[in-house]
Amino acid sequence: MKTDKALRKALLRNTNELPYGFESRVMRQIMLEAERKNRLSYYSSISLVSIVSLAMVAIVLYVLYLYFNFNILDLFVGVTIPVLEHPLTLLTNQNRPILTFSIFIALLMLFLLGIDHLFRVQFRKTKKQ
């Protein structure tokens, strides 16, 4: 009889109370999981952008070689080891305009990416407020 009363009392006890600190531990786990998911998303998007960029460069080089008989390796014919000989042998009269144009385009891209980054940061700040 006594065991039945103890069993009934145990079953009727209010079990809606959670252990101390349960909510904070669960929220910490949720925050860690959300941070991990954001980090994974960031790295996967960076990887995807890198792969697509490399593919685009490869396609451009292939089209240039196939249809215009332009070989990118011809630009580096005069390249020597800079330690042993003059380091500017790459800058022959034939290669100088192409190299200058390439540097200009690269700097322009970096400038535009910087402006894009600044605009995105500003947009996020205004969105949070």
Distance separating alpha carbons of residues 99 and 105, to the nearest angstrom: 10
**Candidate from 47-51, 54-58, 63-67, 71-75 with smallest mean pLDDT:** 71-75
Share of the chain above pLDDT 70, in %: 78
Say if residues 48 and 62 touch (Cβ distance below 8 Å). Answer: no
Distance separating alpha carbons of residues 21 and 31, to the nearest angstrom: 15
DSSP letter at 17 equals: P
Model confidence pLDDT, tens digit, residues 8-37: 777 777 666 777 888 899 999 999 999 999
Q: How confident is the model at residue 111 (pLDDT cuts 50, 70, 90)?
A: very high
Distance separating alpha carbons of residues 122 and 114, to the nearest angstrom: 12
Confidence (pTM): 0.47
Q: How far is CA 70 from the centre of its chain?
A: 32
**Candidate from 7-16, 39-48, 101-110 with smallest mean pLDDT:** 7-16
Mean pLDDT, rounded, of the chain: 81
